[in-house]
Amino acid sequence: MSNVKDNRLFGTDGIRSIYGQYPLDRVSVVKLGNAVGRVLWGSRIVIGRDTRQSSETIMRLLSSGISGMSAKWDISDCGVIPTPGLSFITDHDDFDFGIMITASHNPWTDNGIKIFKGDGEKIPVRLEQELEEVFFNIGEPVELEAAVEPVGDGARGIYRNFLTNVASQLDPIKVEEFKIVLDCANGAVFAEAPAIFKQAGFVPVVINNAPDGRNINRGCGSTDTAMLLRRVKEERADLGIAFDGDGDRVIMADPEGNTLDGDHTLYLIARYFLETDHDFNKVAVGTVMGNLGLEKALDQMGVQYARTPVGDKYVYEEMKKQQSILGGEQSGHTILRAFQKTGDGILTALFFLRALFHFGMTPGEVFRNLHLYPQVLKNIPIREKRDLDQWDQLNDMIREFDARHGMNSRVLIRYSGTEPRIRVMLESEEQAVIHEYMRKFEYLIKLAIGK
């Protein structure tokens, strides 16, 4: 599942691959360290990781590659920490760059590398390309055992204190009456999330917080909410909160058996910001995958919904451009730009709760109030790529679809960036429209370029 293509290491969210395979084999990780050592010469770097079995090994190899360029490197080990925590510490402590070892919501066999600038933002494409150019021109990698020092409690405390302060603003009476279930995905939030919510006054039921290196995201967390839904019902809880492996996503569950995704979160927090935050400029940023029902609901509130390509880095870039403080993805990445430079599952959950308490709503009411349209995504294997802009038959079919159903329907067709597949997403108020046109698009695509 490597996202490497031609002379690219970086995909839409850093480097990601199966551990042990290129570019996360031993030699390539050390070479990447050499590239970092050359391009970011003399920088003070902090490295964090999730709970995967391979994460500490990658950290050591990467550090030895960086040190191979100079023994005088200042490298700090932040240990296991959520990705937003690593970003926050990089931003608020005296570090030039932060490196996170994680494959986010992927299984334990995968891993990846995300790099942040000193201001907590992900490095720009320009710097990714510079690192790639150096990487591909390195012959034999150079290793030198790195003198990596663990960060002190003060640095780690910066992030926890920030979240504790946000949590302390919840109404303590409502907190006392509200029961939550936390699914930590056996990932990087396994220590942070329970501590923060307990400090806020909750008595949470905590599940999947015993990482063993191989159980991260396995049958749990934001990508598999079946266990969370069951426990919310069994515990008669008011809300279930599921994080992903590195803590930058969050998905909710209500006691009625409904899953609330990132679209529900954007909807509720947008309503909350409209009433409480004078810095909210009535622009929310999402991706092309955001539901049309969300767009219409935001429009009725007087909030513009700006769409970007899939990927939280594109959302963040558009948020800066639009001066928006709210953005996110259906998958559960929500960015509260006045507080964080990346998605933060714990922070988002705290604001979701703040909004619930402010409106006196239940999670079930949020689910019912946002009328999402049925949405179907199909991945079709292909033998070749054809220029979508020049594909007349396909574009004629899209125009026909828009002309007949465009007011209350959407079609999105794009190639996968990591595998030989084309993705067809159809969304409509009517399931019959989705069924009819999915058959038409699938037939045309398979006939022309299908595998």
3-state secondary structure 195-220: HHHHHCCCCCEEECCCCCCCCCCCCC
CA distance 376 to 432: 12
Write down the pLDDT at residue 146. 80
pTM (2 decimals)? 0.93
**Residue 348 near residue 250, CB atoms below 8 Å:** yes
Per-residue tokens: 201 = 């006054």
- The string of pLDDT tens digits covering residues 121-137 is 999 999 999 999 999 99
**Residue 286 near residue 308, CB atoms below 8 Å:** yes
Mark whether 104 is an active-site residue: yes
Write down the pLDDT at residue 3. 42
- The string of pLDDT tens digits covering residues 185-222 is 999 999 999 999 999 999 999 999 999 999 999 999 99
3-state SS class at 332: coil
- The string of pLDDT tens digits covering residues 302-316 is 999 999 998 899 999
Write down the pLDDT at residue 83. 98
The yes-or-no verdict on residue 329 having pLDDT over 60 is yes
CA distance 76 to 295: 43
Yes or no: is domain 15-151 CATH 3.20.190.10? Answer: no
H-run or E-run covering 301: helix 292-301
Among 3.50.50.60, 3.40.1710.10, 1.20.1560.10, 3.40.120.10, name the CATH number for the domain at 159-369.
3.40.120.10
Q: Where in the chain are the domains?
A: 15-151, 159-369, 375-449
Write down the pLDDT at residue 1. 40
The yes-or-no verdict on residue 5 having pLDDT over 60 is no
CA distance 427 to 271: 24
The yes-or-no verdict on residue 403 having pLDDT over 80 is yes
Q: Check 17, 104, 324, 331 and give the catalytic one.
A: 104
Provide, rounded to the nearest whole percent, the portion of the chain with pLDDT above 90.
Answer: 90
- The string of pLDDT tens digits covering residues 21-71 is 999 999 999 999 999 999 999 899 999 999 999 999 999 999 999 999 876
CA distance 341 to 314: 12
Strands (DSSP E) along 176-288, which ranges? 180-183, 205-207, 239-243, 250-253, 259-260, 283-287
Lowest-pLDDT range of 5-14, 148-157, 339-348, 420-429: 5-14
**Residue 309 near residue 287, CB atoms below 8 Å:** yes
Cα–chain-centroid distance for residue 155? 23
Lowest-pLDDT range of 4-13, 70-79, 134-143, 207-216: 4-13
Hey, do 159-369 and 375-449 end up sharing a CATH topology, with the first three levels equal? no
Confidence of residue 348 (pLDDT cuts 50, 70, 90): very high
Write down the pLDDT at residue 268. 98
The yes-or-no verdict on residue 6 having pLDDT over 60 is no
Write down the pLDDT at residue 154. 83
Give residue 292's region: left, alpha or beta (phi > 0; psi -120 to 50).
Answer: alpha
pLDDT average, residue stretch 348-360: 98
Confidence of residue 324 (pLDDT cuts 50, 70, 90): very high
CA distance 445 to 391: 10
Among 3.40.50.1100, 3.30.310.50, 3.40.1160.10, 1.10.3980.10, name the CATH number for the domain at 375-449.
3.30.310.50
